[in-house]
Amino acid sequence: MNIKPVEIKTDDYSIWYEPESSTAFFQGFLRLDGMAEYQPIMNLLVSAIEESDSFNVNLKDLEFLNSSGISMLSMFVVRVRERGNIQLVLQGSEKVLWQTKSLKNLQRLMPSLTLEFSS
Amino acid sequence: MMERSPQEPVQLLTELAQLRHDVKRLTQANSDLEISLSTTAEHGDFVEAQLQAANQRLEAEIAERQLAQLTLQTILETVSRDKADLEMILTATAEHGDVLAYQLYTQAVETMRRSEELFRAISESTPILMILTQQLDGKITYANSISIQQLGLDMQRQEGYRLQEFFLNPDDERQIEVLLADQGRVRNYEMQVRCATDDAFWVSASIHPLVLGDTQTLLTTLYDVSDRKQAEAALQQSQATLQQQAQDLELRVIQRAAQLQQAEEKYRAIFENAAEGIFQITLKGSYISANPALAKLYDYASPDELIAGITNLSQQVYVQPRRRDEMIAYLTRFGSVEGFESEVYRQDGSTIWVSENVRAVRDADDVLLYYEGTARNITDRKTAEDELRQQRLMSERLLLNVLPQPIAERLKRGETNIADSFPAATVLFADIVNFTGLSSHIAPVELVGLLNRVFSVFDKLADRYQLEKIKTIGDAYMVVGGVPTETRDHAEAIATMALGMMRATNRFKTRNKQPIRLRIGIHTGPVVAGVIGSRKFTYDLWGDTVNVASRMESQGEVGRIQVSEAVYEKLSDRFTFTPRPPLDVKGKGVMHTYWLLGKKSE
What digits encode the pLDDT tens for the residues B238-293?
999 999 999 999 999 999 999 989 888 888 888 888 888 999 999 888 999 999 99
| Cβ proximity of B272 and B303 under 8 Å | no
**Residue B1: which pLDDT band, with cuts at 50, 70 and 90?**
very low
By Cβ distance, the residue of A67, A78, A108 closest to B93 is: A67
- Chain A hits for B103, CB-CB cut-off 8 Å, are 97-98
**Residue B138: which pLDDT band, with cuts at 50, 70 and 90?**
confident
Mutation for A interface: B81, B87, B91, B93, most A CBs within 10 A: B93
Mutation for B interface: A31, A101, A115, most B CBs within 10 A: A101
Q: What is the distance between the terminal CA atoms of chain B, rounded to a whole angstrom?
A: 223
How many whole angstroms separate alpha carbon B425 and alpha carbon B525? Answer: 5
How many whole angstroms separate alpha carbon B195 and alpha carbon B170? Answer: 15
Question: Which residues are within 8 A (CB) of A52 and not within 5 positions of it... i.e. 6 or more apart?
Answer: A19, A22, A86
CATH topology identical between B274-383 and B404-599: no
How many whole angstroms separate alpha carbon B93 and alpha carbon B86? Answer: 10
A78, B89: Cβ pair inside 8 Å?
yes
By Cβ distance, the residue of B93, B97, B100 closest to A74 is: B93
B88, A108: Cβ pair inside 8 Å?
yes
Percentage with pLDDT > 70 across chain B: 96
CATH 3.90.1570.10 for the B124-224 domain, yes or no: no
Instruction: Classify residue B507 as exposed, middle or buried by CB count within 10 Å of its CB (0-12, 13-18, 19+).
Output: exposed
At CB < 8 Å, which residues of chain B contact A? 85, 88-89, 91-97, 99-100, 103
- Chain B hits for A70, CB-CB cut-off 8 Å, are 92-93, 96
Cα of B133 vs its chain's centroid, Å: 62
Element (H, E) at B511: none
Res. B417: pLDDT tops 90: no
Distance of residue A16 Cα from the nearest chain B Cα, in angstroms: 23
A102, B89: Cβ pair inside 8 Å?
no
Q: Report the CATH fold assignment for B404-599.
A: Alpha-Beta Plaits (3.30.70)
How many whole angstroms separate alpha carbon B484 and alpha carbon B468? Answer: 8
pLDDT tens string B469-517: 998 888 899 999 998 889 999 999 999 999 999 999 888 876 677 788 8
Please give the pLDDT value at position A5.
55
Please give the pLDDT value at position B28.
79
How many whole angstroms separate alpha carbon B129 and alpha carbon B146? Answer: 6
How many whole angstroms separate alpha carbon B61 and alpha carbon B417? Answer: 192
**Residue B442: which pLDDT band, with cuts at 50, 70 and 90?**
confident
Instruction: Please list the residues that pair with A117 across neighbouring strands.
Output: A92
A67, B85: Cβ pair inside 8 Å?
no
**Residue B439: which pLDDT band, with cuts at 50, 70 and 90?**
low
**Closest CA relative to residue B167, chosen from B205, B196, B193, B133:** B193
**Residue B199: which pLDDT band, with cuts at 50, 70 and 90?**
confident
Please give the pLDDT value at position B528.
94
A98, B85: Cβ pair inside 8 Å?
no
Cα–Cα distances in angstroms (integers) from residue B342 to residues B347, B356, B378, B529, B593, in the given order = 16, 8, 9, 48, 66
Q: Report the CATH fold assignment for B274-383.
A: Beta-Lactamase (3.30.450)
Please give the pLDDT value at position A2.
44
A110 touches chain B (CB under 8 A): no
Mutation for B interface: A68, A96, A105, most B CBs within 10 A: A105
Please give the pLDDT value at position B153.
85
Count Cβ neighbours within 10 Å for each residue of B349-371 and write b for 16 or more, e otherwise. Answer: eeebbbbbebebeeeeeeeeeeb
Q: Which domains does chain A have, with CATH numbers?
A: 7-118 (3.30.750.24)
pLDDT tens string B304-324: 999 999 888 888 899 988 999
How many whole angstroms separate alpha carbon B529 and alpha carbon B470? Answer: 10
| Cβ proximity of B552 and B563 under 8 Å | yes
By Cβ distance, the residue of A101, A106, A108 closest to B99 is: A101
Average pLDDT in the B49-73 region?
88
Give, in degrees to the nearest 5, the angle at Cα B82 between B81 and B87.
Answer: 95
Average pLDDT in the A93-116 region?
88
How would you classify residue B198: left for phi > 0, otherwise alpha for psi between -120 and 50, otherwise beta?
left
**Residue A3: which pLDDT band, with cuts at 50, 70 and 90?**
very low
Q: Can you give the length of chain B in residues?
A: 602
ipTM of the complex model:
0.74
B92, A105: Cβ pair inside 8 Å?
yes
Please give the pLDDT value at position B6.
61
A70 touches chain B (CB under 8 A): yes
Please give the pLDDT value at position B7.
67
How many whole angstroms separate alpha carbon B337 and alpha carbon B573? Answer: 66
Please give the pLDDT value at position A68.
86
Element (H, E) at B517: none
Res. A1: pLDDT tops 80: no
**Closest CA relative to residue B179, chosen from B171, B168, B187:** B187
Domain boundaries, chain B: 124-224, 234-268, 274-383, 404-599
Strand stretches in B94-246, DSSP E: 129-134, 140-143, 186-194, 200-212, 215-224
Residue of B nearest to A103 (CA): B92
Average pLDDT in the B62-85 region?
89
Please give the pLDDT value at position B495.
94
Q: What is the largest CA-CA distance in chain A?
A: 42
